[in-house]
Amino acid sequence: MLINLQQQPADALLALIKLHNADPRADKIDLGVGVYRTGEGETPVFAAIKGAEKKLVEEQDSKAYLGPEGDMAFVAALMPYVFGKDSPDMGKRIEGMQTPGGTGSLRLALALAKRSGIDRVIVGVPSWPNHAQICADLGLGVVEFNHARADGKTDMDALRAALAGAGEKDAVLLHGCCHNPTGIDYSHAEWDEIAGLIAEKKVLPILDLAYQGLGNGMEEDAYGVRRVLVAVPEALVCYSCDKNFGLYRDRVGALYVMMPSESDLPRVMSNAHALARANWSQPPDHGGAAVRLVLEDPTLTAQWLAELDQMRDRMREVRAKLAAAGKVGAVDMTPFGGQNGLFSIVPLSKEQVLEMREKHGIYMAGSGRINVAGLTMGNIDNFIDAVAQVTA
């Protein structure tokens, strides 16, 4: 039977990695892979994580199974950062479980939504490619709306129209902050309106918070999630520690469920646990345990937050440099300064993206998405010059 399977296309970003690695040019620039890089081009392990891992090696006394919910102390330690330390719903209307990264959280959230009766998911485009891919694999319909306008602002009219046409079996999937791939986030005023629209239409919000702390700060980046949760009776929040703790390959995430009352949670979580058991049995422990130790130790917590500040400041420096360049060839780089997180989209055609790669050794996704952390003060002028040349 396996002979009947059809060849699937290679992942475009993974193919891009191979092309970049094979390029012998010393001045090549990798803007494709979605990981943070320092000004020296490195993706280091956080010092706070190193400290936690040292403690873990010295103190962990068992590798026995934890169960499908994973490390619940890790799940609890994250909650004040996600929902606010004064949230009245933590431990009452909100419960969570550990997942294998943000992808595992999203997969579980969407599977749980489908099991509950959801038929369609409203998604702004462009979006992270795995959003649509997971929906398709689960047999969920996707209703698309334009996330952003050509001027670099959010397209609130498109979102209003999408929600106006929503029904009782619809969910809406929104990026909590640092939108991937555009970097264009909703303002606080827009989140206030969005929360009201979701509550009015009674659609299920699925909130993807994969980059908290990389936009404007831990508290600021949680505004949209918290604002929606205040307005609705139930919601799913998908969380990733892969970016803000630098734990990409360790796959550390969490799924949080909010219900109208505490008594509703055991029934819902029993379904989430059953789905997790059928998918991955239980999540990997090491990374989640390291995050827990960071958050339980005030010294390590302060070190982690300081490292996060440094990452955010460096990306702000890059964005400011791009914005200061203004009009570069046919591209206005000014809006990049007001965007957030790792990603932005440079409005280039596929032909121009190819020219950037072949003539200038600059590697980016075919959509024009760039990882701004791939730019440094040493190579950013080359990037700006290349954009000017290919769009002249």
Sequence length of the chain is: 392
Cβ atoms of residues 342 and 364 within 8 Å? no
What's the CA gap between 190 and 175, in Å, rounded? Answer: 13
Of 340, 282, 332, 288, nearest to 311 by C-alpha is 340
Question: What's the mean pLDDT in 26-39?
Answer: 93
Cβ atoms of residues 248 and 265 within 8 Å? no
List pLDDT tens digits, range 173-207.
999 999 999 999 999 999 999 999 999 999 999 99
For the chain, give the percent of residues with pLDDT over 70. Answer: 100
Q: To which H or E segment does residue 320 belong? A: helix 298-325
* E strand intervals along 75-119: 94-100
Omega before 126 within 30 of 0, i.e. cis:
yes
Of 369, 351, 279, nearest to 34 by C-alpha is 369
Cβ atoms of residues 60 and 289 within 8 Å? yes
What's the CA gap between 71 and 339, in Å, rounded? Answer: 34
Q: Is the pTM of this model over 0.85?
A: yes
Cα-to-chain-centroid distance, residue 22: 28
With a CB cutoff of 8 Å and minimum separation 6, the contacts of 159 are 124, 145, 147, 194, 197
What's the CA gap between 81 and 237, in Å, rounded? Answer: 13
With a CB cutoff of 8 Å and minimum separation 6, the contacts of 38 are 44, 314
List pLDDT tens digits, range 290-331.
999 999 999 999 999 999 999 999 999 999 999 999 999 999
Report pLDDT for 371: 97
What's the CA gap between 263 and 391, in Å, rounded? Answer: 59
What single letter denotes the amino acid at residue 176? G
Average pLDDT taken over every residue of the chain: 96
Of 365, 335, 375, nearest to 128 by C-alpha is 365
Tokens for 356, please give them. Answer: 């950037």
What's the CA gap between 114 and 129, in Å, rounded? Answer: 19
Residue 11 pLDDT class (50, 70, 90 cuts): confident
Cα-to-chain-centroid distance, residue 323: 24
Residues facing 356 on adjacent strands: none
Report pLDDT for 293: 98
What's the CA gap between 174 and 240, in Å, rounded? Answer: 14
Cβ atoms of residues 105 and 280 within 8 Å? no
Cβ atoms of residues 178 and 340 within 8 Å? yes
Domains defined for the chain, CATH in brackets: 10-45+312-391 (3.90.1150.10), 65-296 (3.40.640.10)
Q: Is the pLDDT of residue 90 over 80?
A: no
Residues acting as catalytic residues: 128, 208, 243
Q: Is the pLDDT of residue 259 over 90?
A: yes
Neighbours of 152 (CB within 10 A): 18
Q: Is the pLDDT of residue 256 over 90?
A: yes
What's the CA gap between 176 and 170, in Å, rounded? Answer: 19
Report pLDDT for 123: 98
List pLDDT tens digits, range 329-371.
999 999 999 999 999 999 999 999 999 999 999 999 999 999 9
Report pLDDT for 96: 97
Neighbours of 163 (CB within 10 A): 18
Tokens for 308, please give them. Answer: 């996060």
Q: Is the pLDDT of residue 12 over 90?
A: no
